[in-house]
Every structure is written in structure tokens, then in C-alpha cells.
């Protein structure tokens, strides 16, 4: 589980109290020859990083010089699906 406490001071953000969580990826792909020198590449990737959240505790100054704070944020089941298509050209074939 990834939990971050942030402290915003002027132009930067500081992260502390980090935790590590398991993430995984699965991919499959194929390369198909259209001719002796031209190939098409088709790939699929699935990436899962699980849950991401923060405590919402940070110190910041808003534009009107008043203190600002945030609420905890939680994202569950964070994942990505990626489909890719590429063309390869082989020189000197």
C-alpha cells in the first residue's frame, strides 16, 4: 500500500512516510512479416498497481495567503491497458 504525507512549501512538494506495495504486469505480442524487410508489431500490456492513497495531511498557503489543507485521497484497483501497433523496417535484407 502506498501512503504519502505531503508538505507543500513554496515551489516544491516533499513526500514522507512512504510504503511499498506489490505491482505486476502482463504482456503479449507478435511480430508478423509483411515482406522481406517490412514487419508489423502488435502488443498488449496490462499493468496493475493496486491501491494508491494519501493521508491528505499537508501544509500549504493558498493564493490569498490563507492556510490550505486537503482530504485523504484513495484510488482502488489502479490499472492500465495498453495496445500498441508498430511497423519495423529492416535495412540490408
**Among 5, 2, 17, which residue's Cα sits nearest to residue 57?**
5
pLDDT digits (tens, 9 = 90+) for 16-41: 556 677 889 999 999 999 999 999 99
pLDDT tier at 1 (50, 70, 90 boundaries)?
very low
Using an 8 Å Cβ cutoff, are 30 and 42 in contact?
yes
Burial class (CB in 10 A: 0-12, 13-18, 19+), 49: middle
- pTM exceeds 0.85 for this model: no
Using an 8 Å Cβ cutoff, are 25 and 37 in contact?
no
Dihedral of the alpha carbons of 57, 63, 67, 71, in degrees to the nearest 10: -30
Domains of the chain: which residue ranges?
2-89
How many residues in the chain? 93
Amino acid at each position: 500500500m502506498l501512503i504519502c504525507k505531503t508538505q507543500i512549501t513554496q515551489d516544491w512538494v516533499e513526500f514522507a512516510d512512504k510504503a511499498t506495495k506489490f505491482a505486476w504486469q502482463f504482456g503479449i505480442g507478435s511480430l508478423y512479416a509483411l515482406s522481406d524487410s517490412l514487419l508489423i508489431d502488435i502488443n498488449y500490456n496490462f499493468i496493475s498497481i493496486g491501491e494508491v492513497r494519501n493521508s491528505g495531511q499537508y501544509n500549504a498557503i493558498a493564493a490569498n495567503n490563507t492556510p490550505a489543507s486537503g482530504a485523504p485521497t484513495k484510488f482502488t484497483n489502479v490499472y492500465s491497458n495498453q495496445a500498441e501497433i508498430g511497423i519495423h523496417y529492416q535495412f540490408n535484407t
